């Protein structure tokens, strides 16, 4: 059985997370918040960034405030903090907040080819929330991997070039 509780056919072997994300570079950490404006004030003081990028992602029913990180040597923005607030009671973030309260929601990892990574994960038996990429904040291609398959942590994949 794999970490999702599904039986893996004998011809397949589960690829350990450490190999699946061997060259992982963290794009950002997503933090679910009830009050985006109040959270922006708190994180502005912590990060020293008083002008986060604020965006609404209508299809996910959220508003996000992105505190930009430093650029990595390869050109990708790394180490961002993304505050996420629900814009609707039926938003996945609203459900998360009702169940868990404010706090860590997800960790986002860069990948060069998101479609290929999703196929690789699916073939290895991972449960995917998104079987194909969708558009996230900043117009970037993203997809989510179910937390039951990754030690209880919701993983977001974000496609980038130049890793």
Other residues' Cβ atoms within 10 Å of the Cβ of residue 109: 19
pLDDT in tens, 6-27: 555 544 444 455 444 555 788 9
Q: Which of 7-11, 51-55, 65-69, 78-82 has the highest mean pLDDT?
A: 51-55
Q: What is the DSSP string of 114-137?
A: HHHHHHHHHHTT--BS-SS-EE-G
pTM value is: 0.79
Distance CA 68, CA 28 (A): 9
pLDDT in tens, 78-108: 688 999 999 999 999 999 999 999 999 999 9
CB 27 within 8 A of CB 78: yes
| Domains annotated on the chain, with CATH | 17-159 (3.10.180.10)
Angle at 91 between CA 87 and CA 97, to 5 degrees: 90
162 has a pLDDT exceeding 80 = no
pLDDT at position 122? 95
pLDDT at position 12? 45
CB 105 within 8 A of CB 93: yes
68 has a pLDDT exceeding 90 = no
pLDDT at position 157? 97
pLDDT at position 142? 96
């Amino acid at each position: 059985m794999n970490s999702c509780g599904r039986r893996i056919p004998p011809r397949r072997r589960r690829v350990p997370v450490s190999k699946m994300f061997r060259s992982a570079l963290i794009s950002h950490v997503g933090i679910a918040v009830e009050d985006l404006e109040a959270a922006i004030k708190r994180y502005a003081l912590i990060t020293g960034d008083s002008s986060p990028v604020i965006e609404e992602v209508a299809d996910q029913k959220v508003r996000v405030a992105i505190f930009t990180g430093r650029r990595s040597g390869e050109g990708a923005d790394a180490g961002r903090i993304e505050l996420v607030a629900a814009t609707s009671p039926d938003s996945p973030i609203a459900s998360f907040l009702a169940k868990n309260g404010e706090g860590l929601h997800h960790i986002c990892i860069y990948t060069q080819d998101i479609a290929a990574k999703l196929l690789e994960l699916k073939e290895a038996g991972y449960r995917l929330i998104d079987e194909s990429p969708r558009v996230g904040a900043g117009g970037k291609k993203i997809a989510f991997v179910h937390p039951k398959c990754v030690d209880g942590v919701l993983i977001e994949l974000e496609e980038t070039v130049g890793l």
